[in-house]
Amino acid sequence: MTGFDGRVAVVTGGAQGLGAQVARELAAGGAAVAVLDLDEQRTKPVVDEIESAGGRAIGLGADVSVTEQVDAAIAAVADAFGRVDVLVNNAGITRDNLLFKMTDEDWDLVMQVHLRGTFAMTRAAQRLMVDQRYGRIVNLSSTAALGNRGQANYSAAKAGLQGFTKTAAIELGPFGVTVNCVAPGYIDTEMTRAVAERMGVPVEQRMEEYAARLPTRRVGRPEDIANAVLFLAHERSSYVTGQVLYVDGGRWLV
C-alpha cells in the first residue's frame, strides 16, 4: 500500500514474524521505519532488507515494559526522523500453560510485555502525535482474547489490549490520533511454529488441521495481517478509531 511518503513509523517486535512484515510493507509504502526489538542486533536483517530495497530504516533495542528504555527509543526516532506518525504495538511473548500449572512469573511476564509495553509505547508516542495533531496507533490483539485453552495469561492480555485501544481512541481522537486494534487468528509465523514444536505436533499437520475448520480453508500469512495494519495506519483511515478488526479466516463463523 502506498501513501506513507513523509511518514515515520515505529514497529515493536519488528525483528521477525508479523512485526517484520509490517515494517517491510510500511517502508515499501514510503514510510521511514524504526524497527524495535528487545535486542537491537536482531533488527539488523530487517533494516538491511528495507535499505537494500531503497527505503529508510533504523534498528532500536528496548524492553517495551521498561519506561526509561521506551522513552529513550521514541526520542531516538524523533532525533533520527523528526517525528512519529505511526506506532504499531506488536511486541509479544507467550508463556502457555493450563491454569493450575501457570506460575506467577508466566502471568506477570505476559502482562508486562503486552499490556505495560503497549501502554508505555503509546504514552511516549502520543506526546509527539498530540503536538503534531496527527497519529495512527495500531495494537495487535488476537482471537485468543475470546478465550483459548492453555492461554489464560495471553488471552487476558489480548482482551485487555482491546479495552485499552477503545479508551485511548476516546482520549486521543480530538487531537487527530486514531487508535485501532488488529486481532489475528492462526498465522504461520516463527512463534506459531515454535508452539507446534513444543506440543510435539508436526507444523504442517497442525496448520492443515486448523485450516480445515476455517471457511477460507487456509491459515493466515504475515502479509494478511500487514494489510490490515496498513489500512488502519493510513492517512485515509481518519474516520476509523476504537475498532477491533479480526483477521482470522472466518474462524468464528463456523
Question: Cβ-count burial of 68 within 10 angstroms (0-12 exposed, 13-18 middle, 19+ buried)?
Answer: exposed
Distance (Å, whole) CA 124 – CA 157: 20
Q: Is the torsion defined by CA of 10, 155, 223, 229 positive or negative?
A: negative
Residue length of the chain: 254
3-state secondary structure of 62: coil
Question: Cβ-count burial of 227 within 10 angstroms (0-12 exposed, 13-18 middle, 19+ buried)?
Answer: middle
Helix (H) or strand (E) holding 12: strand 8-12
Distance (Å, whole) CA 153 – CA 97: 9
Out of 134, 154, 186, 246, the active site residue is 154
Amino acid at 62: A
The total of other beta-carbon atoms located within 10 Å of residue 248's CB is 22
Distance (Å, whole) CA 254 – CA 238: 32
Does the annotation mark 134 as catalytic? no
Whether residue 87 contacts residue 135, with contact meaning beta carbons closer than 8 Å, is answered with yes
Cell 475470546: give the residue: 146
Helix (H) or strand (E) holding 107: helix 104-111
DSSP conformational letter for 116: I
Give catalytic residues, as residue numbers: 154
